[in-house]
Structure 1
Amino acid sequence: MAFTRATGKHRAPGRLTRAGAKAVGIATLATTGVVGALASPSVAADAETPSVADTGLTQVIAIEQDLADRVGAQAEAQQHQADAAAKKKAKAEAAAKKKAEAKKKTALRAEAKKKARAAAEARAADAEEARESAARAARSAERARLGAYRLPVAGTYVSTGYKSSGSLWSSGSHSGIDFHASSGSSVVAVGAGTVVEAGWGGAYGNNIVLRMTDGTYTQYGHLSSIGVSVGQGVAAGQRIGLSGSTGNSTGPHLHFEARTTPSYGSDMDPIAYLRAHGVSL
């Protein structure tokens, strides 16, 4: 007859410790997912089958579930952080792009203002140069006008030369030159100057004396009429009177003198004087 092991209160049923059951459950779940045989058939038959509570399987599943929940929550949190970081990065990039565009626009506006300023300054410089050029031209024209000399009577010729001798002159010689001119011919200033004498001049009849801009003096005698007054400024070619035959004269003509002073006796060669000032005769 076979030997049987005694049962009942005389022998406590074999139990797995909580740690052992937990280890077994973890190993089993990690491989096949099924709790395998804990011993050989003879041992299994010899020992009582432990309960689920005694093996710790429930705790293992709970732990795994909690771990999975934690992993999922962590992954979700990480994804949320990643999404937030991506949004923040995109926002920062958009802000940086907007700032760069604003900076570029500001730079373009500044460059446009700079170019506009440079163009305005260039235009102002050109205008100033044009004004200065015009002023220079006007001054040059005025100098030319003032410096230009001409014959006192247009289209005429010298009828009596300088230092001609004869009884007609008290000094015994001619102190100027005579220009052929019919009575009433226009007499003009040979150059620019100021009237220092305008009136009766004795033997010269009606006469005018001008102080020229170069400090010399010119005289116009035997005039039929006088058209200027003392202190008046005249330009080269400006009419100052009309030719005639007043004073010590034998007929209509213009007596012309060049002097170093306004007085009689300071005369110089009128032809040489006019030629020195560019007049051909």
Structure 2
Amino acid sequence: MAFTRPSGKHRRPRRGSRAGARVASVAALTTTGVVGGLAASASAVEAPAAHDTGLTRAITLGDGLAEEIATQAALQHAAAEQAEAQEKAATQAKKEAEEAKRKAEARAKREREAKERAARAARAAERERLNAFVAPVDGSYVSTGYQSGGSLWSSGSHTGIDFHAASGTSVHAVGAGTVVAVDWGGAYGNEVVLRMDDGTYTQYGHLTSATVSVGQRVGPGRQIAISGSTGNSTGPHLHFEARTSPEYGSDMDPVAYLRAHGVNV
């Protein structure tokens, strides 16, 4: 029996025919512009503008950030240096203030000590002055001694010593004391009696007048009277007595008294 090849769609196409169909399809696509559009898109992707790339933008942002960081670092460094300089200046100022305070305190201490020394010296000088004794008449001498005998004295002897002194001569307190009597002393004429700071008494007689009053404080060498020749007197002179009390009859050796206090007569 003889077979014949069927015709129509059931016939297997030849290999060459399939290849040709593919070529035809590509040609058709090219003709319709699909491949051209893809080529154009590929061309656009391959050649972008330099400033539109992500890489360039990253580099640009990186440079700006680095500059900003550098600026901030420089500002922080400057601020740190300024703070350090201010701290050093404050420390130096504190040291200078402390040194100035120390010097001021030392100076004040020296001045205070100097004042205290001066005050002590002044007090010592005053004590020495008050404890010092002087002669009752400057530049004079004893004209009649203690316990000299004669009819001139009611007791029969001289109860004091006489200093040569012209009328009107200044009479001084022999030491520091208080005035306890300014009056008429009978045979002594005008008199002044002092209670001395050591508890003894001194009497000054035959005065023209007194220059102090009862209760008054006097120091050594202070004028208390003017010499004269009042009372039982043969001429101007100063009668001086040292006593254990303000009363007559308590006399003691006035020369020894004065010499015991550093006054040679």
Superposition TM-score tier, normalisation by shorter sequence:
0.7 to 0.9
**1:158-237, aligned counterparts within 5 Å?**
158-237=142-221
Q: Cα distance, 1:121 vs. partner?
A: 3.1
Aligned residue number for residue 269 of structure 1: 253
What is the distance in 1 between the residues matched to 2:98 and 2:169?
66
Matched, 1:95 2:79: yes
Question: 1:16-61 deviations in whole A, cap 9, x for unaligned?
Answer: xxxxxxxxxxxxxxxxxxxxxxxxxxxxxxxxxxxxx89xx98996
RMSD of aligned C-alpha atoms? 3.5
Q: Cα distance, 1:173 vs. partner?
A: 2.9
Change in Cα spacing, 1:59 to 1:208, as seen in structure 2 (3 Å) is same
What is the distance in 2 between the residues matched to 1:96 and 1:86?
15
Aligned residue number for residue 18 of structure 2: 9
What is the distance in 2 between the residues matched to 1:10 and 1:83?
64
TM-score, normalised to structure 1's length?
0.70
* Structure 2 unaligned blocks of 5 or more: 1-14, 23-37
**1:45-124, aligned counterparts within 5 Å?**
69-124=53-108
Q: Cα distance, 1:10 vs. partner?
A: 4.8
Q: Cα distance, 1:115 vs. partner?
A: 3.5
Q: Cα distance, 1:207 vs. partner?
A: 0.8
Aligned residue number for residue 146 of structure 1: 130
Aligned residue number for residue 264 of structure 2: 280
Q: Cα distance, 1:129 vs. partner?
A: 3.5
1:9 counterpart letter in structure 2? R
Q: Cα distance, 1:7 vs. partner?
A: 4.4
Q: Cα distance, 1:230 vs. partner?
A: 0.8
Question: 1:49-99 deviations in whole A, cap 9, x for unaligned?
Answer: xxxx89xx989969xx99x95554444444333323222211111111111
Question: 1:221-272 deviations in whole A, cap 9, x for unaligned?
Answer: 1112222211122222122112222222333221111122222232222112
Change in Cα spacing, 1:155 to 1:12, as seen in structure 2 (3 Å) is farther
Moved more, 102-111 or 196-205: 102-111
Moved more, 201-210 or 136-145: 136-145
TM-score, normalised to structure 2's length?
0.74
* Structure 1 unaligned blocks of 5 or more: 1-5, 14-52
Change in Cα spacing, 1:10 to 1:242, as seen in structure 2 (3 Å) is closer
Question: 1:78-126 deviations in whole A, cap 9, x for unaligned?
Answer: 4333323222211111111111122223223333333443344344334
